[in-house]
Amino acid sequence: MNIYIQAAAQISAQEPLSHAWFQHPLPLSERYVRSVEPDYKEYINPMEARRMGKILKRALATSLNVVRKTGINQPDAIITGTGLGCIENTEKFLTAMVRDKEMYLQPTYFMQSTHNTISSQIALHLKCNKYNTTYAQRGISFESSLLDAYMQFELEKIRTALVAGHDEMTPDYFVLLDKINYWKKGEVNEAILRKSDSVGAISGEASACFMLENKKSNLSVCELKGIDILYNPNQKRIKDALEELLGKHNLCIENIDVVMTGINGDKDNDAVYNELERNLFPSIPLAWYKHLVGESFTASGLAMFISAMALQEQVLPASYLYNGSSAIQGLKNILIYNHFQNKEHSFILLSSC
Amino acid sequence: MMSERILVTGMGIISGLGYGKQATLDALCSKHSGIGKMKYLQTIHNYYPVSEVPMSDAEMMDSLGISSQTIITRTPLLGIMALKEAFIEAHLDKKRPRRIAFINGTTVGGMEKSEQYYPDFQNTEAYIAAHDCGTSCEAIAEYFDGFDMITTISTACSSAANAIILGANLLKTGRVDVAIVGGTECLSKFHLNGFSTLMILDKEACKPFDAKRVGLNLGEGAAYLVLEKEQHAKQRGVQPICMLSGYANTCDAYHQTASSPDGQGAYLAMHNALENAHLHPHDIDYINAHGTGTQNNDLSEGTAIMRVFNDNIPPVSSTKSFTGHTTSAAGSVESIISILALLHNFIPANLNFNNPMPELSFCPVKDTLTKKMQHVLTNSFGFGGNDSACIFSKID
C-alpha cells in the first residue's frame, strides 16, 4: 500500500494559499501571531463568508484549493483535526450566555460552535456523503486524523482522503492561555527561542490541508510512509515505535535525512527534543518550524506542509535548520516528530517520490 | 478474506438510569425512566426535564478515591466511573496487554466548569487547561495509567459511535491489542441553552417517533466498550460478550443542524453497516434508533429506516426516552443498551409513544417485548450530518 500527498494548502503566519514563501519564510517577532488571511472571494461567496468564523473560512479555502488542484471533489474521507474547534463561535455563545444570564440567546453561534462544524461544512460544500469525522486531542489532533485515514487506506476502505488540521487563536483564548504560561512573555525573536531558557512559545494559528490518494501521479508531492501516535511513552517505547515504523519500509534511523521537530523555545518542551536527539538521532540534522508559524494544537499540519515542500523541491532551506547552518539538498526521508507537554507524541514519515 | 472477528469483552455505563449495567438493565425492564427534575445543573432554565446521573462530582470523586483538591471536571469523572466497570469485566485491572488504545468521544469537555468561571477564571486558572476536549481524555487516561495511545473524537452526538469505529480499525490493522472505546458528556448550561435556542427541547418527557413529539430531553452519561480480536481475547482467557459485526460512518451533507428529508446520511449509515457486516436487512432483530424526539430527526430517521428495511422493519425503539439524549456519549450508551437487549433477548420500550406518525409505515415498540435475538443495529447521528451505525451480534 502506498499513500501520496497529491496536493497541499496552508494558511498561517506566512503567505496564505501559497508555497512561494517556503524558500524565504518571514521571521516572527511578536508573541501572538494571527494567520494572514487570503482573499476568500475565489473560494467562498462573500455573502456566505460574512457569516462564517475565521476557522471555517480558512478550512473551506484550503480544502477547495486542494480539491481544485487534484480534481478530487468526492474524497472517500473528510477528516479534520482541531484542538479547539470553532472556538470563536464557542466564545461568542458563552460570552452572551454569561453576560445576559442565559437570556436572549440566538442559536447561530451555538450551531457553528461544535468541533465537527469544519468537516461537515466541507462535506456540505462538496455534497459529499462519505466518511466524515473530527479529532480533538490537543497536540495530536492532526496526527489522529492522519492515522484514521492511513488505516482506512491500509484496510482498502478508501482511495482518497481530505485530511486537515485547523486551529485559530482568539484574543480572549490567547489571554487565558497566557495566564497559564503557554506564551512567551516580553520580546521574542529567533535568538531568544533558540536559547530555550524560559517558559512559553509564540502563539500561532494553523490551517494545513492535504489531499491523499493511493495512486502516484504527476501531481504527487511526496509519499506518506507512516504515522504513529503514542501516549506517555518512555524513551524505549519511542525508540521501539520508531524502529517498527521505519522497519516496515526497510529503513533505519540512519536513513532519515532530517528530523522536523516541534522545538518552540519553551524550555520544558525543548528539553524533550534535546534528550531524544542525544538518545536517538545523534547524527541526524534537526529542523524546526514553530519559530516561523508559532505554536498551536495543530501546528504539526504545517510541519507536514513544509516537509512535503522540502521533498518536492529537494531542499530544506537554512531558515528551518536548528543545528547546522547550510541548506540540506537531496532529501529522501523526513521524519516529523512532535510532542505535546511530553504526553502525546507523534511521528510522521514522509518520503520523496 | 474474512478478517478476524472483533469482540466486546467488557462494558461499563453510567447514566440517568444509574451506575452500571445491572442498574441500566433493571431500569429498562421495569420501564423506569431516568428523566426527571434537574438536581445538579445550575441554570435559570431548570424547568426542562433532564436525565442526570444521580451522583454529585464530590460523590464520584469520593467513590473513585480522587482527592477533593484534584482539578477535574464532571465529563472525565463520569468517564472514569463507566470505564472502571468495563475494566473489571474485561480483566484489564489484572494483567494489562501492552498496547491499549483509549478512544474517547466528547464535545463539551470541561465546559461545565468554564461556563462557571468565564470569562476571567479568577482564582480558578487551573481550569483553563481543562477546557478543551482532549484534557478530559487525558484525565481519564491518567486515572487508569498504562494506555499506549489515546485520542478524542468530537463529532457531536455521534462521537462515541465514531470512537467504536476507530477502535475497530486500530484492531484490524494490528496497531493495538485492545481498544477501549466510547464517550462521555456531562450536562452543561452551554448545551442546555444551545438546544433551547434551537427550540428543540421538550418541557415534558420526550416522545420519540410520536406524531405529537416536541423535542428532546438532554441527558448525561458515559459508556465504554472494550474491544479486541477473538484470538487475543482467547489468549487472555476473557469471556467475550458479543461481537461488533459491522459499522459505517457517513455524512448527510444537507444542513449544519438539520437532517435531510429523505434521511440520506442515515440511510447510507445503516445500509453500509449492513454491507460491512455481510448481513441483510432481514437479519436485524432490533433497531435502537437515534430517535431524539425532535420533529426533524424522527421523520428523517424513520424515512431512512423505511428505505433500508422496506416491508420488513424490525422492532424499533428509542431509549432516549429513558436516558435522555446523552449527546457525545449516546453512541456507546445506546450500544451497551442494545447489547443488553441482545443478551437478554428483549426489546426495550419506546416510552411516551401514543400517536403514530402519519409519514411512517411503522410504530416504535411501546411496551417491553421478549424476542430471541441475533443481531442488533444502533444509530447515532450528530450535528453536521455526522451519521454512524453499528451492528452487534451474538457469538454463535
Tens of pLDDT, residues B232-273: 999 999 999 999 999 999 999 999 889 999 999 999 999 999
Distances (CA, A) of A190 to A177, A292, A293, A305: 22, 9, 12, 21
pLDDT tens-digit profile of A104-130?
A: 999 999 999 999 999 999 999 999 999
- On the question of pLDDT at B100 being above 80, the answer is yes
Helices A87-99 and B189-197: crossing angle in degrees, nearest 10, is 90
How far apart are the C-alpha atoms of A236 and A241, rounded to whole Å? 8
Average pLDDT over residues B97-124: 95
My answer on whether A208 and A284 are in the same domain is no
My answer on whether A315 and A332 are in the same domain is yes
b/e B309-322 (16+ beta carbons within 10 angstroms → b): beeebbbbbbbbbb
How far apart are the C-alpha atoms of B80 and B215, rounded to whole Å? 30
My answer on whether A79 and A98 are in the same domain is yes
Do B154 and A229 make contact, defined as CB atoms within 8 angstroms? no
Tell me the residues of chain B between 26 and 55 that have a Cβ less than 8 Å away from chain A.
43-45
What pLDDT is attached to residue B95?
A: 87
My answer on whether A44 and A101 are in the same domain is yes
CATH code, residues B245-393: 3.40.47.10
Out of B138, B162, B265, the one facing A129 most closely (by C-beta) is: B265
Note whether A106 contacts B: Cβ–Cβ < 8 A: yes
In which domain, by residue range, is A282 found?
A: 222-351
Structure-block grid coordinates of residue B88: 473489571
Tell me the residues of chain B between 57 and 86 that have a Cβ less than 8 Å away from chain A.
none
My answer on whether A204 and A230 are in the same domain is no
Whether residue A151 contacts residue B173, with contact meaning beta carbons closer than 8 Å, is answered with yes
Mean pLDDT of chain B, nearest integer: 97
Residues in A touching B102 (Cβ below 8 Å): 231
Do A151 and B118 make contact, defined as CB atoms within 8 angstroms? no
Residues in A touching B166 (Cβ below 8 Å): 133, 148
How far apart are the C-alpha atoms of B128 and B131, rounded to whole Å? 6
Structure-block grid coordinates of residue B164: 467504536
Tell me the residues of chain B between 356 and 385 that have a Cβ less than 8 Å away from chain A.
382-385
Whether residue A270 contacts residue A293, with contact meaning beta carbons closer than 8 Å, is answered with no
Selecting among B131, B191, B232, B290, the annotated active-site residue is: B290
What pLDDT is attached to residue B168?
A: 98
- The length of chain A in residues reads 353
What pLDDT is attached to residue B154?
A: 98
My answer on whether A250 and A111 are in the same domain is no
- On the question of pLDDT at B180 being above 80, the answer is yes
Residue finishing a domain among A188, A213, A238 = A213
How far apart are the C-alpha atoms of B5 and A182, rounded to whole Å? 45
Do A144 and B151 make contact, defined as CB atoms within 8 angstroms? yes
Note whether B223 contacts A: Cβ–Cβ < 8 A: no
Q: Which amino acid is at A183?
A: W
Kindly state the percentage of chain B with pLDDT values over 90. Answer: 97
My answer on whether A196 and A286 are in the same domain is no
Q: pLDDT band at B2, cuts 50/70/90?
A: low
Residue B344 is a catalytic residue: no
Distance from B354 to chain A by nearest Cα, in Å?
31
Residue A133 bridge partners (DSSP): A79
Q: What is this structure's pTM? A: 0.98
Do A129 and B257 make contact, defined as CB atoms within 8 angstroms? no
Least Cα distance to B289 among B216, B221, B354 occurs for B216
What pLDDT is attached to residue A324?
A: 76
- On the question of pLDDT at B46 being above 60, the answer is yes
Nearest chain B residue to A125 by CA distance is B253
Whether residue B131 contacts residue B111, with contact meaning beta carbons closer than 8 Å, is answered with yes
My answer on whether A231 and A198 are in the same domain is no
Where are chain B's structural domains?
Answer: 7-236, 245-393
Out of B138, B149, B383, the one facing A116 most closely (by C-beta) is: B383
Q: Which amino acid is at A141?
A: S
- On the question of pLDDT at A337 being above 80, the answer is yes
Average pLDDT over residues A213-239: 97
Alpha helices (H) in B118-263, listed in sequence order: 133-144, 159-172, 189-197, 230-236
My answer on whether A39 and A84 are in the same domain is yes
pLDDT tens-digit profile of A221-230?
A: 999 999 999 9
Contacts of A28 (CB under 8 A, 6+ apart): A13, A188, A189, A202, A204, A291, A292, A293, A294
- On the question of pLDDT at B3 being above 90, the answer is no
pLDDT tens-digit profile of B122-161?
A: 999 999 999 999 999 999 999 999 999 999 999 999 999 9
CATH code, residues B7-236: 3.40.47.10
- On the question of pLDDT at A235 being above 60, the answer is yes
Distance from B332 to chain A by nearest Cα, in Å?
16
Distance from B133 to chain A by nearest Cα, in Å?
6
pLDDT tens-digit profile of A147-175?
A: 999 999 999 999 999 999 999 999 999 99
How far apart are the C-alpha atoms of B206 and B210, rounded to whole Å? 9
Average pLDDT over residues B274-289: 98
Note whether B268 contacts A: Cβ–Cβ < 8 A: yes
What pLDDT is attached to residue B94?
A: 86
What pLDDT is attached to residue B72?
A: 96
Do B382 and A116 make contact, defined as CB atoms within 8 angstroms? yes
pLDDT tens-digit profile of A52-76?
A: 999 999 999 999 999 999 999 999 9
Contacts of B244 (CB under 8 A, 6+ apart): B6, B7, B8, B164, B168, B225, B227, B390, B391, B392
b/e A153-166 (16+ beta carbons within 10 angstroms → b): bbeebbebbbbbbb
Average pLDDT over residues B176-196: 98
What pLDDT is attached to residue B31?
A: 98
Which of A99, A138, A230, A296 would best serve as a mutation to test chain B binding (most B beta carbons within 10 A)? Answer: A138
Out of A84, A93, A117, the one facing B256 most closely (by C-beta) is: A117
Residue B225 bridge partners (DSSP): B11, B181
Note whether A347 contacts B: Cβ–Cβ < 8 A: no
Least Cα distance to B21 among B277, B242, B304 occurs for B242
Residue B278 is a catalytic residue: no
How far apart are the C-alpha atoms of B165 and A258, rounded to whole Å? 35
pLDDT tens-digit profile of B324-383?
A: 999 999 999 999 999 999 999 999 999 999 999 999 999 999 999 999 999 999 999 999
Mean pLDDT of chain A, nearest integer: 97
Nearest chain B residue to A175 by CA distance is B120
Do B197 and A138 make contact, defined as CB atoms within 8 angstroms? no
Q: Which of the 8 DSSP states describes residue A21?
A: G
Counting Cα atoms < 13 Å in the Cβ hemisphere of B48 gives 31
Helix/strand/coil for B299:
helix
Average pLDDT over residues A84-90: 96
Whether residue B183 contacts residue B331, with contact meaning beta carbons closer than 8 Å, is answered with yes
My answer on whether A247 and A200 are in the same domain is no
- On the question of pLDDT at A301 being above 70, the answer is yes
Q: What would the DSSP string read from start to end of A227-293?
A: EEEEES--HHHHHHHHHHHHHTTT--GGG-SEEE----SBHHHHHHHHHHHHHT-TTS-EE--HHHH
Residue finishing a domain among A213, A236, A264 = A213
- On the question of pLDDT at B275 being above 90, the answer is yes
Beta-carbon count within 10 A of A236 CB: 9
Do B129 and A180 make contact, defined as CB atoms within 8 angstroms? yes
Least Cα distance to A41 among A17, A76, A22 occurs for A17
Q: How many domains does chain A have?
A: 2
My answer on whether A167 and A303 are in the same domain is no
Distance from A272 to chain B by nearest Cα, in Å?
18
Least Cα distance to A266 among A181, A323, A337 occurs for A181
Out of B128, B147, B190, the one facing A177 most closely (by C-beta) is: B128
Tell me the residues of chain A between 30 and 89 that have a Cβ less than 8 Å away from chain B.
78, 83-85
The predicted complex's ipTM stands at 0.98
Tell me the residues of chain B between 279 and 318 that have a Cβ less than 8 Å away from chain A.
none
Out of B45, B134, B264, the one facing A83 most closely (by C-beta) is: B134
Residue finishing a domain among A213, A240, A257 = A213
Tell me the residues of chain B between 148 and 167 that have a Cβ less than 8 Å away from chain A.
148-156, 162, 166
Secondary structure (H, E, C), A55-115: HHHHHHHHHHHHHHHHCCCCCCEEEEECCCCCHHHHHHHHHHHHHCCCCCCCCHHHHCCCC
Residue B290 is a catalytic residue: yes
Structure-block grid coordinates of residue B235: 489468549
Helices (H) and strands (E) in chain B, counts: 12, 15
Could you tell me how many CB contacts below 8 A there are between chain A and chain B?
A: 192
How far apart are the C-alpha atoms of A44 and A63, rounded to whole Å? 11
- On the question of pLDDT at B1 being above 50, the answer is no
Beta-carbon count within 10 A of B281 CB: 17
CATH number at residue A113: 3.40.47.10
Which of B197, B252, B276 would best serve as a mutation to test chain A binding (most A beta carbons within 10 A)? Answer: B197
My answer on whether A238 and A207 are in the same domain is no
